Structures are given as C-alpha cells and as structure tokens.
C-alpha cells in the first residue's frame, strides 16, 4: 500500500482517501513518503479542533483561521510550495455543499502543482460530486516486517533475551491481524503475565487476539474440536476439501497452482453444511473466522455498515491464510435482491462491496459460504467463477444415514455393536443428519428417565415419532433439489445415487 500511495502522490493525484483508524501510523507512513520525494514535501495535518498544523510541530503552532473545513481548504489552495495536506476526519462535513465545492476547487487548482490532499478517516464517505476525482485506499494492518519492529522495540525496552528465528516468527504470526497499538499491548500483556516474552507466550497472545477480534463484534474466531470424520457421508465434498489441504502452502504456489477462492455449500437444512465448514479449519490447519453479516449492518450513520464490512475483511486478510465463514449467506444478502429499498439501498451496497472484494482479493482468504434458500441469493453469487465450486448437500442417502448413525452413536457409547445400523437407516428415510442425531438423543432421554440403557427399539420409537422436515416442507425441498441438480455439484458420492432416491 505504501508503494501505491507513493505512486499516486508522485503521479500527482490531487485527492486520495485513506481509510484507517490508525492515524498515527498512517501519518508516519505519509511523512516517510514525503521525505523520500524530490523535492521533499512538507506535510500538514488538519483537524477540526486545531485547524492546520505542520506535521511534527506542536499543536498550538496552528495556521490562523483554518478550523472550518472551507477555510482550511482555501488555505491549502493558496499555498505555493509543494505539500501533502492530510485532512483528518472530514467525513462528517464532507457532504456540506461548501466543503464539497471547495474540495473541487482545490482539485482544479492543483493541476501542475505538487500538492496532494489526503482525506484520512476510519470510514469511507465520498459525495457523488467527488466520486470521479478521488482514489480510495485502504491502509492495511501491519505486516510481519512492521510487527517485527514492534517486537524489537519491545525486547529493547524490557531488555529481553534474543529470540530464535522460529520463536520470533511464531510471535509475529500470532499478532497478525492486530493494529500496531494492539500488538504492542498484547506483547506487553504476555510479558507482564509471565515475566518474559518467548515462544511459550504465543498462546497468551492468541487468546488476547481472539478477544480483540471478538470485541469488534463482526468477526468471530471459531474453534471447532470435531474433525472431518465427524461428518457422515458427503464423500465428494470431503474429497474436494482433502485434495486442497495444502493449497495455501508455498509449495502449491511453486507448483503453479492458483489459490482457491471459495466454495458455496447449498442444501437442505440440518444436513451438515455448517458442520463441514467448521471442520475444514482443522483439516486445513487454518484459522476460521465467522463473518456475522447481521452485525455488519448499522443504520446509525451513513457509511457505517460499509466501514464495518471493510474492517472485517481487512482483519481477515491480515490473518490470512484463513477461512472466512459466512453461514446462511441467503439471509445476509436477502435485502439486496428484488425491489426492497427499505434500508435505503444499504444491503445492495454491502453486497456490491463484498462481491468486488471477492473478485479482486489477492490474499489467501478462502470464503466458505452456506445457504439453503437459493431463490433468495442474488444471481451474481452463482455465476461461474465467483466460487471455485458450488456444492449441493442433499438429504443423506441410505448409506450416508448409516454412517451418520454410526458417528453419533459412537460419540455417545464405546460399543455400538448392539445397534442394527442398516435397520435404523431404512426406517429413517427422508431424515436429515440433525434429525438422526435428535432421534438418538430423544431415545436416550426416554431410557434415562426409566433408569435403563437405551436400545435399538428406543431409537426406532423416536424415529416413528418424528415428522421430518423433508415431509413437512416437501415442496421447498423438491424445488431446491430440482434447482441444484442442474447447477451444483452433489456433495455425496455420486449423482446416480440421487437419481435413485425418490420420495
């Protein structure tokens, strides 16, 4: 990004919008660029409290009468020397006609001068009048190199011992995804907790990071103990995932493989979509971050929702390689289809920014999305090339049902030889994985209440007492199947098996 900013400034772009909440870091980066230019440029910073102050000067050394945004911009227009002018948090004022107008005047007057305005703010807000003139850049979170400096400062300060290369890398990797201030804070916390900072403190840092990420409320770190073997059936899907276990390694890049982008799992409720997404994290050894779309939406302020999404994606990218898990995608973007303008178009804008991000992302963030109402999904998601693959998870086949019974019984009892899995499978035609699990649990309650061990007959009784969703919602399930058969790849063993299934 620094590179890109440098180029934009040298190419005399008049107006750059830098989205960041890390003002200090971003100012330093701009100052470094300004000094590397020939001729060097002065850097000025405007805030609504102090007006314009030259970078590095005390706050009271302010230019007269530059507190109001228009006055500040007028002052900038009058400057003859080359310079970079940072306007911090202009976003609440930017829509005012006078502000927008004076920015346009500034842009027009900058032709042939070496002057650049940088708008710096944690959220992006650009009036239509300026959309064509402004370049928006995201200021990324610190990379390994920058975190290394933070770590070195920390070690100097505490006069810590030298770290081995591996220990250093682990400590740096653990802090990826944090801002510079946060990284400083977690290193300090680890130091204070155990009196040192070594490889053994990595867990402290990771758990701090999880808390920090949770606090921003949109991304959630998910830890799943279950392995992919806890998922019954879905052999095709599992094979696909297993084949890609090492897809994010250096070795795969050297081999010439492209980075997987993402997958969409469509399917009938309760058949293991969420479960398989969660277990992929262990299979691939990558962190799993759940993006809660419901929390992205924030009507309190124009642009807030976009800022939320942007921040969440930025965090995911900085932790990458990682899996970004979006459960129930159909619910997240429901508002963006059809003519629902009820939220002032926010959901379609969010949807648009998400698609753009997916399209353009270079970082190894694998998107794993699930959905069960295809008709609610905007068509753009389903277009070829958006996801590497779209899988359809149907109701389990008889063999898959046996497998699921076996998994859930083994989870609860050591010896399951007294159960006739084939019979259970036959009797539970039309059941989802979740319903199979529920039948076992119901049987256990029944027997437990009578103070005895549960049996085959208890499970059969529970099965008989259940009216599966596939029957109560037969129409929806059939419609989904018909739709998916043509457009998605079956997650189970083979297509032939589905075609045999009728109900």
Ligand X SMILES: Nc1ncnc2c1ncn2[C@@H]1O[C@H](COP(=O)(O)OP(=O)(O)OP(=O)(O)O)[C@@H](O)[C@H]1O
Phi, psi angles (nearest 5°) of residue 170: -65, -40
Q: Does 433 bind ligand X (CB under 6 A)?
A: yes
Element (H, E) at 86: strand 83-88
Least Å from the CB of residue 204 to ligand X: 31
Instruction: Let me know the angle formed at the C-alpha of 13 by 9 and 14, rounded to the nearest 5 degrees.
Output: 110
What's the rounded Cα separation, in Å, for the pair 31 and 40? Answer: 10
Closest to Mg ion by CB, 105 vs 328, is 328
Using CB positions, name the residue nearest to ligand X. Answer: 433
CA distance 172 to 187: 10
Q: Smallest distance from the beta carbon of 272 to ligand X, in angstroms?
A: 3
Q: Which is nearer to Mg ion, 121 or 274 (CB)?
A: 274
CB-neighbour burial class of residue 27 (10 A; exposed 0-12, middle 13-18, buried 19+): buried
Buried b (16+ CB within 10 A) or exposed e, 237-274: bbebbeebeebbeeebeeeeeebbbbbbbbbbbbbbbb
Out of ligand X, Mg ion, none, what residue 51 binds, judged by CB under 5 to 8 A for its kind, is none
Among residues 47, 179, 274, 280, which is the contact residue for ligand X, using CB under 6 A?
274
Task: Render 447-479 in DSSP notation, one character per residue.
Answer: HHHTTS---HHHHHHHHHH---HHHHTHHHHHH
- Our CB check for Mg ion shows the closer of 331 and 481 to be 331
Q: Which residues pair with 186 in a beta bridge?
A: none
Considering the complex, what minimum distance in angstroms separates the CB of residue 487 from ligand X?
18
Which of ligand X, Mg ion, none does residue 468 bind to, with CB < 5 to 8 Å depending on kind? none
Q: Among 86-94, 163-171, 232-240, 341-349, which window interacts with ligand X (CB under 6 A)?
A: 232-240
Q: Among residues 34 and 477, whose Cβ is nearest to ligand X?
A: 477
CB 18 within 8 A of CB 139: yes
How far is 274 from 279, CA to CA, in rounded Å? Answer: 9
Distances, alpha carbon 257 to alpha carbons 58, 252, 287, 445, in Å: 53, 6, 21, 51
Q: How far is the CB of 475 from ligand X (least distance, A)?
A: 17
C-alpha–C-alpha distance, residues 295 and 159, integer Å: 42
Per-residue binding string, Mg ion, 427-466, x by CB under 5 A, is ----------------------------------------
Query: By C-alpha distance, which of 303, 135, 312, 114 is closest to 220?
Result: 312
- In the complex with ligand X, which residue's Cβ is closer, 305 or 370? 370
**The one among 177, 232, 287, 378 contacting ligand X by CB under 6 A:** 232
Contact 435, 468 (CB under 8 A): yes
Looking at 7-15, 46-54, 228-236, 480-488, which segment touches ligand X (CB under 6 A)? 228-236
Give the x-and-dash track for 1-40 against Mg ion (CB under 5 A). ----------------------------------------
Nearer to ligand X, 196 or 412 (CB): 412
Nearest to 444 by CA among 408, 395, 398: 408
Residues 358-387 binding ligand X (CB under 6 A) are: 370, 372
Site for ligand X contains 490 (CB under 6 A)? no
CB of 420 to Mg ion, least distance (A): 30
Per rule CB under 6 A, is residue 272 in the interface with ligand X? Answer: yes
- Report the nearest approach of ligand X to the CB of residue 280 (Å): 12
372 binds, among ligand X, Mg ion, none (CB under 5 to 8 A by kind): ligand X
Nearer to ligand X, 269 or 287 (CB): 269
Q: Kindly report each contact of residues 436-445 with a partner whose C-beta sits within 8 Å and lies 24 or more positions away, as own/partner.
A: 436/396, 436/401, 436/404, 436/405, 436/408, 437/404, 437/408, 438/462, 438/466, 439/463, 439/466, 440/405, 440/408, 440/409, 440/412, 442/466, 444/412
Among 53, 404, 439, 469, binds ligand X (CB under 6 A): 404
**Least distance between ligand X and beta carbon 444 (Å):** 14
Q: Which is nearer to Mg ion, 421 or 473 (CB)?
A: 473
Q: For residues 187 and 171, give the distance between their C-alpha atoms in angstroms, rounded to a whole number.
A: 9
- Residue 136: CB atoms within 10 Å: 14
233 contributes a contact to ligand X by CB under 6 A: yes
Which stretch in 156-164, 305-313, 432-440, 484-492 sits in contact with ligand X by CB under 6 A? 432-440
Site for ligand X in 162-191 (CB under 6 A): none
Q: How far apart are CA 385 and CA 92, in angstroms?
A: 39
Nearer to Mg ion, 117 or 276 (CB): 276
437 binds ligand X (CB under 6 A): yes
Residues between 263 and 322 with contacts to Mg ion, criterion CB under 5 A: 274
231 binds ligand X (CB under 6 A): yes
Q: CB 117 → ligand X: shortest distance, Å?
A: 48
DSSP-H helix ranges across 361-473: 398-412, 421-427, 433-449, 456-465, 469-472
Strand blocks (E) in 164-246: 219-222
The residues binding ligand X (CB under 6 A) are 231-234, 267, 269-275, 370, 372, 404, 407, 433-434, 437
The residues binding Mg ion (CB under 5 A) are 274
């Amino acid at each position: 990004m620094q590179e890109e900013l440098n180029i934009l400034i040298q190419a005399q772009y008049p107006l750059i919008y830098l989205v960041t909440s890390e003002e200090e870091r971003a100012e330093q980066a701009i100052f470094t660029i300004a000094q590397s230019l020939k001729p060097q440029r002065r850097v000025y910073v405007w805030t609504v409290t102090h007006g314009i102050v030259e970078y590095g000067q005390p706050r009271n050394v302010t230019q007269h009468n530059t507190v109001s945004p228009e006055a500040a911009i007028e002052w900038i227009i009058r400057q003859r020397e080359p310079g970079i002018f940072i306007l911090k948090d202009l976003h609440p004022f930017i829509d005012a006609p006078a502000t927008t107008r004076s920015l346009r005047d500034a842009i027009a007057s900058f032709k042939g001068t070496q002057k650049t305005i940088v708008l710096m703010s944690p959220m992006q807000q650009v009036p239509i009048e300026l959309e064509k003139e402004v370049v928006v850049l995201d200021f990324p979170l610190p990379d390994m190199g920058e975190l290394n400096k933070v770590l070195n400062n920390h070690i100097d300060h505490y006069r810590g011992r030298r770290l081995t290369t591996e220990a250093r890398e682990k400590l740096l990797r653990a802090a990826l995804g944090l801002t510079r201030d946060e990284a400083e804070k977690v290193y300090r916390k680890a130091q204070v907790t155990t009196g040192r900072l070594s490889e053994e403190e990595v867990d402290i840092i990771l758990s701090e990071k999880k808390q920090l990420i949770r606090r921003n409320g949109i991304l959630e770190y998910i830890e799943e103990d279950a392995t992919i073997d806890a998922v019954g059936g879905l052999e095709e899907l599992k094979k696909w995932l297993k084949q890609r276990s090492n897809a994010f390694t250096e070795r795969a890049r050297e081999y010439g493989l492209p980075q997987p982008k993402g997958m969409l799992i469509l399917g009938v409720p309760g058949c293991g979509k969420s479960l398989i997404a969660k277990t992929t994290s262990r299979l691939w050894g990558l962190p799993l971050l759940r993006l809660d779309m419901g929390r992205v939406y924030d009507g309190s302020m124009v642009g807030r929702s976009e800022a939320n999404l942007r921040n969440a994606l930025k965090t995911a990218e900085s932790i990458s390689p990682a899996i970004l898990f979006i459960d129930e995608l159909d619910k997240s973007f429901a508002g963006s289809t059809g003519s629902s303008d009820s939220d002032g178009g926010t959901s379609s804008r969010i949807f648009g920014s998400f698609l753009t991000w997916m399209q353009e992302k270079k970082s190894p963030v694998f998107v794993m999305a699930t959905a069960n109402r295809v008709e609610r999904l905007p068509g753009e998601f389903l277009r070829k090339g958006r996801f590497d693959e779209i899988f359809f998870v149907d109701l389990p086949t008889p063999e898959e049902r046996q497998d699921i019974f076996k998994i859930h019984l083994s989870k609860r009892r050591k010896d399951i030889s007294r159960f006739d899995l084939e019979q259970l499978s036959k009797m539970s035609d039309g059941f989802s994985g979740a319903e199979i699990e529920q039948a076992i649990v119901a049987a256990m309650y029944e027997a437990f209440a009578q103070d005895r061990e549960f049996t085959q007959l208890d499970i059969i009784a529970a099965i008989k007492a259940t009216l599966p969703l596939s029957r109560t919602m037969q129409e929806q399930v059939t419609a989904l199947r018909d739709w998916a058969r043509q457009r998605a790849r079956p997650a189970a063993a083979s297509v032939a098996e589905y075609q045999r299934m009728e109900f």
